[in-house]
Chains A and B, each alone.
Chain A
Amino acid sequence: MSNRDSIPTSKLAMFWSLTKPSQSGLLLSTGLAGYMSARCPVFNISTILQLSLSLFLAIAGSTIMNMWWDRDIDSKMGRTQKRVTSKGLLTDKEVLIAGILISVIGIGWALAMDWLYGLVVFAGWFFDVVIYSMWLKRRTCWSIVWGGISGAMPILAGRVLGLGSIDWIGLMLALGILLWIPTHTLTFSMKFEKDYADAGVPTFPSTYGLAVTRFTIAFSSVLAAAAMVIAGIGIGMDWGFLRLLGVLSAGLLILAAAMTFNPTERVNFGLFKYASIYMLAAMILVVVEVI
């Protein structure tokens, strides 16, 4: 595993780092879980492979486009200063072309597979690149809602591909992700508050203060856990897996409560990490349930 702070040396590694493999991988895993939640013939290797590639390319394409658009503010923030776009290791033109090319291939492939699936994938890309990054990110801290909607699209897209339509379970799964994202991004914006202030990006902590941000995180965690459990019931998840999901949700709630009533840097970091483990575990449960 490469060091997150190390700077890639080969051109290929530079382009690969633009895709944020861990983040894209986590989003892809939600897409696969959404597909499998439809209880369709999940072992159709061709469909699984095409879903994985088209979704990964669309997610990676939007990530690259974001990096291209945000290259000026990324270079002002300590956390992102080492990105290849911030350091000028790739030219703006190279990054833009890569972003457009990968996005077009990903979304085009998705549309060719199924028009509704392709439309949801495109919506995710559009909300992320145009609405979130280009329009709202530098204007309002509420931009994260649109970033969240975008992050919720892969799981909906996966389910749409498996089912052929949009149903309430798909929307509930997407709502679970949408409400989980503040747990992740707001704890991040608290940790790197100065970075965002230096770059002039409005965040919840800088706009409403830490207490409101902590309450928002706790509240959205409660709703995210509830949405995931409701979606689990809707999928027809086994009672044992539901119990496990309930236990994991309880952990999320306990940390969210601790962050509200006894906030420390350690609890903040713990919630940030636990939220990722929680979502990954929830996706694995959906997949294992079907298998």
Chain B
Amino acid sequence: MKSSSHRTFLLLTSLLAGYQVSVGIEGFTILPITAYTISFGVILIAALLIYILGIEVLDSPIVVIVSTIIPLSLAVGLVWQHLASVRTSFLILAIIGFLAVSLTRSFPMPNKLPIIAIALTHGIAGLTIFLLPIVLSVQGAAKPLFSLVGIGGALIGIVGLLLSSQSIGKTFVPRDKVMNLFPALLFFTTALFVAGFAFR
């Protein structure tokens, strides 16, 4: 499945993510720069690999782990910049969440631990990315358009849930539909993030 619209969306996504890594996060401190570089870097490489290998690459079991990195590192960057009082605790929580997802996906687990780990980690990271920029915008601590990051967070949360649900065998939306929508969703998510950070 390699339509020209998919390719266009993926190419634009990688360009936007590349812009964000190189230009869009200038001026931040080291940890947020590292966190955002990881999240947008993963988006960039993922978009390029899907562009080269086709959308079927999303069937790989490693996608669950990779799709956890993006919201987690983004959430860490946002919390580190805007919630100084809980930044270290959140960083530790994010590391534990990532390890939990990685370990429960790497070794066979007979119980529901893998699903719980994914749901909790994605839930916490997704809610942080969704709520924090919107709350900051409403409070006047950031410009109104910074809330676009939150909308992007909601979108990537949906993308993450759809992908994870496919991987763990609980399909809310038919597989073909998810695969068809994925390049466009990834592009709009990235565009919203980039725009939100530009107007911060």
Known: A247-B37, A247-B44. A240 touches B49 (CB 8 A): no
What mask results when residues 224 to 255 of chain A are scored 1 for a CB within 8 Å of chain B, else 0? 00000000000000101101101110110011
Known: A240-B26, A247-B37. A274 touches B21 (CB 8 A): no
Q: Is the CB of A273 within 8 A of B21?
A: no
Known: A247-B45, A250-B45, A251-B45. A240 touches B52 (CB 8 A): no
The tally of CB-CB contacts under 8 A between chains A and B is 46
> B18 within 8 Å of A by Cβ?
yes
A-side interface residues, number (CB < 8 Å)? 19
Q: Is the CB of B37 within 8 A of A273?
A: no
Give the secondary structure class of B's interface.
Answer: helix
In residues 251-291 of chain A, which contact B (Cβ within 8 Å)? 251, 254-255, 266, 269-270, 273-274, 277, 281
Instruction: Give the CA-CA distance A238 to B22 in the complex, in Å.
Output: 9
Give the secondary structure class of A's interface.
Answer: helix
Residues in B with CB closer than 8 Å to A243 are: 21-22, 33, 37
Set B18, B41, B52: member contacting A270, Cβ < 8 A: B52
Residues in B with CB closer than 8 Å to A277 are: 48, 52
CB distance from B51 to the nearest CB of A (A): 9
Instruction: Give the CA-CA distance A274 to B14 in the complex, in Å.
Output: 13
Q: Is the CB of B52 within 8 A of A274?
A: yes
> B23 within 8 Å of A by Cβ?
yes
CB distance from B18 to the nearest CB of A (A): 6
Q: Is the CB of A254 within 8 A of B22?
A: no
Q: Is the CB of B48 within 8 A of A247?
A: no
Instruction: Give the CA-CA distance A260 to B33 in the complex, in Å.
Output: 31
Closest to B41 in A: A247
B-side interface residues, number (CB < 8 Å)? 17
Closest to A239 in B: B26
Instruction: Give the CA-CA distance A241 to B18 in the complex, in Å.
Output: 9
Residues in A with CB closer than 8 Å to B22 are: 238, 240-241, 243-244
Instruction: Give the CA-CA distance A248 to B46 in the complex, in Å.
Output: 11
What mask results when residues 198 to 213 of chain A are scored 1 for a CB within 8 Å of chain B, else 0? 0000000000000000
CB distance from A270 to the nearest CB of B (A): 5
Q: Is the CB of A270 within 8 A of B49?
A: yes
Known: A266-B53, A269-B53, A270-B53. A251 touches B48 (CB 8 A): yes
Residues in B with CB closer than 8 Å to A281 are: 18
Residues in A with CB closer than 8 Å to B37 are: 243, 246-247
Q: Is the CB of A240 within 8 A of B23?
A: yes
Residues in B with CB closer than 8 Å to A238 are: 22
In residues 86-134 of chain B, which contact A (Cβ within 8 Å)? none
Instruction: Give the CA-CA distance A162 to B44 in the complex, in Å.
Output: 32
Residues in B with CB closer than 8 Å to A270 are: 49, 52-53
Q: Is the CB of B52 within 8 A of A244?
A: no
Residues in A with CB closer than 8 Å to B23 are: 240
Q: Is the CB of A254 within 8 A of B45?
A: yes
Residues in B with CB closer than 8 Å to A248 are: 44-45
Residues in A with CB closer than 8 Å to B49 are: 251, 255, 270, 274
Instruction: Give the CA-CA distance A55 to B26 in the complex, in Å.
Output: 37
Q: Is the CB of B52 within 8 A of A273?
A: yes
Residues in B with CB closer than 8 Å to A274 are: 48-49, 52
Residues in B with CB closer than 8 Å to A251 are: 44-45, 48-49
What mask results when residues 33 to 66 of chain B are scored 1 for a CB within 8 Å of chain A, else 0? 1000100110011001100110001000000000
CB distance from A81 to the nearest CB of B (A): 26
Closest to A288 in B: B22
A-B contact pairs, 25 of them (CB 8 A): A238-B22, A240-B21, A240-B22, A240-B23, A244-B21, A247-B37, A247-B40, A247-B41, A247-B44, A247-B45, A248-B45, A250-B45, A251-B44, A251-B45, A251-B48, A251-B49, A254-B45, A266-B53, A269-B53, A270-B49, A270-B53, A273-B52, A274-B48, A274-B52, A277-B52
Given contacts A238-B22, A270-B53, A273-B52, 14 further A-B contacts (CB under 8 A): A240-B25, A241-B22, A244-B18, A244-B22, A247-B18, A247-B40, A247-B45, A248-B45, A250-B45, A251-B45, A251-B48, A269-B53, A277-B48, A281-B18
8 smallest A-B Cβ distances: which pairs? A247-B41, A240-B22, A251-B45, A244-B22, A273-B52, A244-B21, A270-B53, A241-B22
